[in-house]
Amino acid sequence: MKNQIGLEKAYAEKVSDKLNDLLSNIQIAYMNVRGFHWNITGKQFFKLHEKFEEAYDDLNEKADEVAERILMLEGKPVHAFSEYLKRAEIKEKVNISTDQATVKELLDELQVLLKNEREILALAADNGDDGTVDLMTGYISGQEKTIWMLNAFMK
């Protein structure tokens, strides 16, 4: 049986569940990066304050896009912070404010998102879900570049 966009319903439920895991990780990462943005201190303040704002804006946009994709698949995006905390691999971070520590945490979180996205990409590709493939491909290429740049900062 197929859903409104022509994908098998069983597949759509499975990928929607994985997208909800990704959404949960994105939302926790978003809050963590907001905290880094607000609390960053030290000589790299101006650079990182701006970079963290770019990062949380990007995560905010991704959260909206992932939630909308779940809806297109006829799923229901999770939207309670308590549910995000249960589902997310990324954990809340508190009282992290130095340049090296905040960038390391962001790098770790981007690696989790990248892993989630690659899993979703493989599942979507195996099921002819070009819309989800396209969404994940864009996220992956952007995050790979960000990871490369942040790693260069850490050297």
23-32 per-position pLDDT tens digit: 999 999 999 9
**What is the residue extent of each domain of the chain?**
9-154
- Asked whether 65 and 98 are in contact (CB, 8 A), the reply is no
pLDDT score of 74:
97
Q: For Cα atoms 114, 119, 124, give the angle at the middle one, nearest 5 degrees.
A: 120
Cβ partners under 8 Å of residue 126, min gap 6? none
Average pLDDT over residues 6-11: 98
112 confidence band (pLDDT: 50, 70, 90): very high
pTM, 2 dp: 0.97
Mean pLDDT of the chain: 97
**CA–CA distance, 77 with 61 (Å, rounded to integer):** 15
**CA–CA distance, 41 with 64 (Å, rounded to integer):** 30
- Alpha carbon 81 to chain centroid, angstroms: 15
Given phi > 0 = left and psi -120 to 50 = alpha, else beta, which region is 6?
Answer: left
In b/e form, how buried is each residue of 6-15, taking b as 16+ CB within 10 angstroms? ebeeebbeeb
pLDDT tens digits for range 51-67: 999 999 999 999 999 99
If one counts every other C-beta atom within 10 angstroms of the C-beta of residue 130, the result is: 11
Superfamily of domain 9-154: Ferritin, core subunit, four-helix bundle (1.20.1260.10)
